[in-house]
Amino acid sequence: MTGYADFYRRSIDDRDGFWSEQSGMIDWRTQPTQVCDYSRPPFAKWFVGGTTNLCHNAVDRHLITRPDQPALIAVSTETNTEQVYSFAQLHAEVQRMAAALQALSVKQGDRVLIYMPMIAEASFAMLACARIGAIHTVVFGGFAAGSLASRIEDASPVVIVSADAGSRGGKVVEYKPLLDEAIATSSHKPAAVLMVDRKLAPMPLVAGRDHLWAELRQAHLETQVPCVWLDSAHPSYTLYTSGTTGKPKGVQRDTGGYAVALAASMKHIFCGNPGETFFSTSDIGWVVGHSYIIYGPLIAGMATIMYEGLPTKPDGGVWWSLVEKYKVTVMFSAPTAVRVLKKQDPALLSKYDLSSLRALFLAGEPLDEPTAQWISQSLGKPIIDNYWQTETGWPILTIANGVEKAPSKFGSPGVAMYGYDIKLIDENTSEELTGPDQKGVVAIEGPLPPGCMQTVWRDDERFVKTYWSSIPGKQLYSTFDWAVRDKDGYFFILGRTDDVINVAGHRLGTREIEESISSHPNVSEVAVVGVADALKGQVAVAFVVVKDASGLGDEAAKLKLEGDIMKVVDQSIGAVGRPARVRFVSVLPKTRSGKLLRRAIQAVCEGRDPGDLTTMEDPGALQQIRELLA
C-alpha cells in the first residue's frame, strides 16, 4: 500500500488521474469525459459530461447485493420509538415520497425546502429530491419564523415538507405555527406544503395548500419512480450557513463531485465497510447530517442511525446503548457533546459492550486536549478529530487511516486531506509560510476538490468576494481560521481570524487562551472573547462553566478560582494571554449544532446588539452573562 504522503502528493500533482480513479467508487450512467474543468477560476466543474444520481448511489445500487440489510435506523428517545428500514424498504419509502412530490408538481431543478425533526420521513424527503433531480434545502427544525422566511425567499421552493412538531428533552416544539408565520411574511409563497403528522401538536391545515403525507403515501404505495440521471454539475442541494446575518448565504453543492468525495471519504477517512453501522449524532439541519447521516454511509452500503433526542436522556449512556445494540463501528459526534457526557456518571461508559466500535470522530469546533484525553481514556478507542466547513462538505484536515495508519495528536485535527492544496498564509505579507510552528491563515489553492461548494446559491459574485478575495494579491480560498503546522505536518487550529484579540499590539487567538484555561482541573467549558478596552485596544474576558460549583458559594471562593485560572494561563501562554476577568456561568451560549456564539458574547460585553440568535440552543445563556455584567 502506498504511504499517505505519496497518496496526498499525487492528489495535488496528478489531480485528474487521482480523481478519475476515485470516481470509480460510484455508479455513472454516462462516464465523465473530463475530470476537472477549471477554465473559469475559482469555479470548478468536476466529472464533466458524466451523469449520475445520488439516490441511486445511496439506495438503488445496493438492492442487488444487500436488499434486506439494515439501511436506516430511526431512533427517537423523545417518542420512545425505533424503526429499522432495510435498503429495500428505504427504496420503497423514497419512491413514495418522490411520487408525492411529483404529485405536488415538483420537477427537476425545482427547490424543495425541508423543515423537519430527526425522523425517517426527513431522510425520505432528501433522498426523494435527489431521486427526481429536485434541489433540497434543509432548514434546521424549529428555526425561528424570521430566519425560516428569509430562507424560503432565497430558495423559492415549490413545496415545503414539514411536520407538526419536533421534541427536545421532552419539550414539544411546534413547527406548524412557525412555518405558517414564515410563509405569511415571506414574499415567496410555496405552491404546496406536505405535512407529516406525528400527533405531537395540533396541526390546522390551510385548504388547498397543505397536504398530509399519510394520505399521499397511501395513494402511492406501489408507484415506481425511476432515478433521473443528472449532469454531474447539477445542484444536489443548498444549505444555509449558520450564524449568517443579513441575506442568507446558501452553499450550493453539485451531484457527481459530492457523490465521489463522500464515497472516497468513507473508504479513506472513516474506514466504513458495507454491512456495518455508522452513527453520527448530528442533525440533518447541518452539513454533517447531510454528508454523514444520509449520503455518505448509505453510499458506502452501511446502515446509518438517525437519532432524535439528547445524549443524556433517558441517561448519559443512551448513545453507548445504541452502539452495543446496532454494533456501531464508526461514530461521529462533536466536542460539545463529549463535554456534556463528561458530567455524567462515568460508570455509564463501561456499562455497554463497545467492542464493535473502531473509532470516534469529532468535529464542529476545535477539540481541546483535556476533552480529547478524557474521552480517549474513558472509551479506550481512537479519537479522531476532523476539521471542515459547511462549504467543503467533507474533512479538510484529519487522519486518513484508510490509506495509512497514523497517530492522532491531541489538540490537532490532523494533516491536510487529499485533494486540498492547503497553504498557511501570512496575513501581513500574503506570503506562504512553509516552516514549522508559524501562525497563518488556512487557505486552499483552487480548484477546491470534488464535493466542495460550487458557488453561493444565485450569487456567484458573493462566492468570489466572500471566499476568494480576502487574501490581497492572491486568489485563494480562505477558511478564515488561524492555524500553526508542526514539523510533522499536523495543523493546530487557533480560532477564527475574526476571533483574534489584539491586546496592546499582541495578537492572540481565543483558542490559545481557551485551551490553556481548559487544562484547569475544575473547568468543564470555556469561551474567551476580546472586549474593547480604552487602554489596551482589547482585553480577553473568559466565561467558564465549572465541573464542580459546590465550592463557589461566596465571592471569595470565586475570586480564588479566578486567580488560580489566571495562573494557569500565565504558565502556559504568559501574562500577555491572561484574561482581564474570568466569569463563572452555568451554561455557555451556543448554536444548536454546538458552536460557541463568541460574537454574541462579545456584543453583550460591549453593550451592542448580539444580532440574530435564532440558532441559539439556550436563550437564557446570554441573559446570565448580561446579569453578571450589570
Residue given cell 478524557 in the structure block = 374
Q: What is the SS3 string spanning 439-472? A: EEEEEEECCCCCCCCCEECCCHHHHHHHHCCCCC
pLDDT at res. 141: 87
Distant-in-sequence, close-in-space partners of 420: CB < 8 Å, separation ≥ 6? 396, 444, 448, 449
What is the homologous superfamily of the domain 4-309+386-479 according to CATH?
Answer: ANL, N-terminal domain (3.40.50.12780)
Q: Can you name the residues that pair with 73 across neighbouring β-strands?
A: 84, 305
Domain ranges of the chain: 4-309+386-479, 504-629
Give CA–CA dist 443/329, Å, rounded.
33
Least confident of 73-77, 82-86, 561-565, 626-630: 626-630
Q: Is the peptide bond between 447 and the residue preceding it cis, with omega within 30 degrees of 0?
A: yes
Q: What is the CA radius of gyration of the chain?
A: 24
Tell me the per-residue pLDDT of 296-353, one tens digit each, with 9 for 90 and over: 999 999 999 999 999 999 999 999 999 999 999 999 998 888 888 888 888 898 899 9
Cis ω on the peptide bond leading into residue 41 (within 30° of 0)? no
Q: CA dist 263 to 21, 26, 521, 563, Å? A: 12, 7, 41, 50
> Does the pLDDT of residue 464 top 70, yes or no?
yes
The pLDDT of residue 246: 53
Output the average pLDDT for the chain. Answer: 93
- Write out the CATH class of domain 504-629: alpha beta
Q: Which three cell numbers stand for residue 191?
A: 405552491
Residue 596 CB: number of other CB atoms within 10 A?
Answer: 23
As given in the structure block, the three cell numbers for residue 467 are 471566499
pLDDT: which is higher, 402 or 553:
402
pLDDT of residue 36: 98
pLDDT of residue 593: 75
Tens digits of residue pLDDT in 525-581? 999 999 988 777 788 999 999 998 888 888 999 999 999 999 998 887 777 789 999
> Do the Cβ atoms of 134 and 105 come closer than 8 Å?
no
Q: What is the pLDDT of residues 195-230, one digit of tens each?
A: 999 999 999 999 999 999 999 999 999 999 999 999
From the list 167, 168, 190, 169, the residue with the least C-alpha distance to 179 is 190
Q: Taking 90 as the threshold, does the pLDDT of residue 289 lie above it?
A: yes
Helices (runs of H) and strands (runs of E) counted in the chain: 19, 32
CA of 10: how far to CAs of 19, 39, 143, 535, 596, in Å? 10, 21, 43, 52, 37
Rounded Cα distance between 404 and 261, Å, is: 18
Q: Look at residues 436, 359, 351 and name the one whose alpha carbon lies nearest to residue 399.
A: 359
